[in-house]
Structure 1
């Protein structure tokens, strides 16, 4: 990871530990946001990337629950419902997105480096 690549916040890594593919998708979204900030502040771009990807996870989990309900398997329904609840918690501003200090610290460091390079 280079100095401008934001890390997936630890709280989200912990919450999504059973879903490494989702953590990887979050990392990819953060990398894409860092690579193409479109003139926006890095911290805001990172937060927006996380919010967008987590919203997609919620939508996908809803689809999985609907499919499980259509299949009628109680265990599959419970797993899908548990996953949907986890995705809602991960997307929550007070839970999964509640502590974004890592992103803020990195954003401030990148800004200072850019200012030094501009001098």
Structure 2
């Protein structure tokens, strides 16, 4: 029996609504986490959290690189957008925003906790 894909935490979906590609990338790491958990079912929820944290860290790094590029270009609008994106990605990385997501927790508890 095939399980549905694990849910990206609702708060992250809400925060990243203007970045659907980022939501897809979070979904990808959750899907990989499920596949790993099927092979080695050792603490799948913790593994998924770690994967989300890693991907969110990548988003911060990418946003910082965009900010540097915008600063080099001296484009004030691009700088403003990049600063806001960096702030958003940094905020999204705080687990307190999404760690208590019940659908995500319940999903991973159902596949072996």
TM-score by length of 2: 0.89
Corresponding residue of 2:91: 89
2 CA distance for matches of 1:89 and 1:98? 13
Corresponding residue of 2:44: 42
2 CA distance for matches of 1:20 and 1:52? 18
Extract unaligned runs of 5+ from structure 2. none
Of 98-107 and 69-78, more deviation after overlay is shown by 98-107
| SS of equivalent residue, structure 1 residue 78 | helix
Extract unaligned runs of 5+ from structure 1. 113-119
In the TM superposition, residue 39 of structure 1 has moved relative to its aligned partner by 4.0
Deviation string, structure 1 residues 79-115 (Cα, Å, up to 9, x no partner): 00000000001001222x3433222111122228xxx
Cα RMSD after superposing both structures: 1.6
Asked if structure 2 preserves the Cα contact closer than 8 Å seen for 1:8 and 1:26, the reply is yes
Asked if structure 2 preserves the Cα contact closer than 8 Å seen for 1:6 and 1:46, the reply is no
Asked if structure 1 preserves the Cα contact closer than 8 Å seen for 2:9 and 2:104, the reply is yes
Corresponding residue of 2:106: 105
Asked if structure 2 preserves the Cα contact closer than 8 Å seen for 1:26 and 1:50, the reply is yes
TM-score by length of 1: 0.85
Equivalent residue in structure 1 for 2:70, among 48, 65, 68:
68
2 CA distance for matches of 1:92 and 1:42? 20
Count of residue pairs the alignment pairs up: 110
1 CA distance for matches of 2:99 and 2:44? 18
